[in-house]
Amino acid sequence: MKLSHIVSLTLTTSQLCSATSAPNRQMQGLHEGNHVGIPEGMLFKREYHELGAGLKSKIVQPILKSGVMQKGMMKKKTSTNKKVKTPGKSVPAASTPKELSVAAAGSKSGNRTSNPKAPAPEGVDVSRLPAYCKNDFHLIKNAIQLNQLQAECTVVKGTVSIQDYEEPIIDFGNINTIHGDLLIEESSSLLKVQGKNLKYIGQTFKLHDLTALTELDLPELGHIKTIYWRVVPILQTVVTSPRIESVESVLISDTSLTSIDDFYGNGELSSFNINNNRYMDHIKTNVRRITMQLSINANSQNLNLEMPELVAADNVTVRDAASVSFPKLEYVNQSFELIENNFETLYIPKLKRIGGTFGLIDNKNLETVNMSSVTTINGGLMVSNNSKLTTLDFLPELQQVGGAIQFEGTIDDTKFPKLRLVKGSAKIDSGSGNLDCSKWTRPSSGNSIIRGGQLECTSAGRRNTVSVSKDGIVLDRDSKEVSPNESFGTSIVLDKSKLGKLIWSLGFGWMIFLLIFVTLQ
């Protein structure tokens, strides 16, 4: 099942049972729900009347679509200007809020029909809300507090924060609008979040540390600014409105979702970060621009990433993907990293400029790359340990590299016919032994394109080093034989994962030295 909007995952029986078996047995009836059959062709008009201590109850009046009252009532056509009585004032029926007038479900199955003509929640006059509904913050810790909120409010002005909630189900009931954040956190008994009327979350929708949650059922939800779902390890089903185009930022981490399919609509995001979703094997979104970060990593090894409309992004990192598709991508304003992926081909034919460093690293199956429109890389260029990529010829239009270059692997040849300037240094290390270093160390024009002080090229057991001036004039040359162990030596880019071990080793060495020194005294 895919997100349409349903995002789903099929868990193994043992996973689901171990996490949810006891609560499911107790609350099976609540999960399944009971729906009352509604006669075909009928609308509902809900009127609210004050009861007791300020609470409200619903009086539902069935009216035929034709506008003729049912048998037993006066037969009279309903005028479009007929007034509907509500406490304290009369409102023309034509202007009654749509959440109080919904299409008939039509059968006993309880199928819900969305109402695309519902007025935008922004149009609600919050100054007319009950005082309780205008609070800036509502802390909910139990069903009694939640029931009070939904009994008094269809619109909530502030933030709703649900923490340490011990019931298995959260039901937002009559609430259709939350102008602030919706935060649901640290509720280990929670299995399901539902709200058939909830359409609008003005700011952040946060799910965090919900270890038993399996389902979100919010079929009318069409507006969210920020999605932050983290540590929701068995969340497998999400139901929302078909398009949510208001989203500005997305983080989905540590869930059991299997796919994201055009969930966030078109337009612009500040960030799109999907990580550590072990069953996520398909991501597709039509976003056109990402202004801060695109990060896809540590999901399923079979992940297919499709971004068919993406034109520009800021920082891009893709790891552990089986395929990527950026057919319209033209600009990456900062770094662009493709690391430890499983794809065999990489086509980004329209990409023109990379504003930072480009890294193509440890993609063990990669054989074919097409980045034929790139003219400028303002940072460094690092192509390392792509064992099947033996010829580096995928940047035929590249003219300038603003930083250093580093090539490592089983490289037989390099072809950069239009490259005229590398502002940093260069390190080229071929394990194949077939690379001709002279095209780098003895350029045909006389001057080197490397302007960062030093060029080092190792191939066939010999390391050639050239010192150059900032104008590319060769100042010194050196050549020496090296053992195989010296190949793939020190990287220009420090491996930060080994930094801790290095510091520990140095510290331990000083301890031994001091111990010997004290003993000798």
Note the pLDDT tens digit of each residue in 156-213: 999 999 999 999 999 999 999 999 999 999 999 999 999 999 999 999 999 999 999 9
Contact 106, 36 (CB under 8 A): no
Length of the chain, please?
A: 521
Could you give the angle at the alpha carbon of 472 between the alpha carbons of 469 and 474, nearest 5°? Answer: 70
184 beta partners: 162, 207
Q: Can you tell me the distance from the alpha carbon of 456 to that of 207, in angstroms, rounded to the nearest whole number?
A: 51
pLDDT given for residue 453 in this prediction: 84
Question: What tokens were used for 79?
Answer: 């005028």
Contact yes or no for 399/355 (Cβ under 8 A): no
> Residue 317 in contact with residue 296, Cβ under 8 Å?
yes
Q: Give the per-residue pLDDT at 505.
A: 46
pLDDT reported for residue 447: 87
Domain layout of the chain by residue ranges: 330-482
For 244-303, the three-class secondary structure string (H helix, E strand, C coil) is CCCCCEEEEEEECCCEEECCCCCEEEEEEEEECCCCCCEEECCEEEEEEEEEEECCCCCE
Beta bridge partners of 258: none
The segments of the chain whose pLDDT lies below 70 read 1-125, 262-266, 484-521
Task: Work out the widest C-alpha separation in the chain, in whole angstroms.
Answer: 113
Query: Exposure string (b/e) for 114-131, b if CB count within 10 Å is 16 or more?
Result: eeeebeebeebeeeebee
Residue 460 contacts residue 483 (beta carbons within 8 Å): no
Bridging pattern class, strands 237-239 and 215-217 = parallel
pLDDT at 261: 84
Which one-letter DSSP state was computed for residue 68? Answer: B
What is the model's pLDDT at position 487?
54
DSSP letter string over 316-339? EEEESEEEEE-TT--EESS-EEEE
Which has the closest alpha carbon to 400: 382, 424, 430? 424
Beta bridge partners of 413: 391
Closest to 223 measured CA to CA, from 193, 262, 178? 178
What pLDDT shows up at residue 452? 87
Is the CB of residue 237 less than 8 Å from the CB of residue 215? yes
Residues 451/423, Cβ–Cβ less than 8 Å = yes
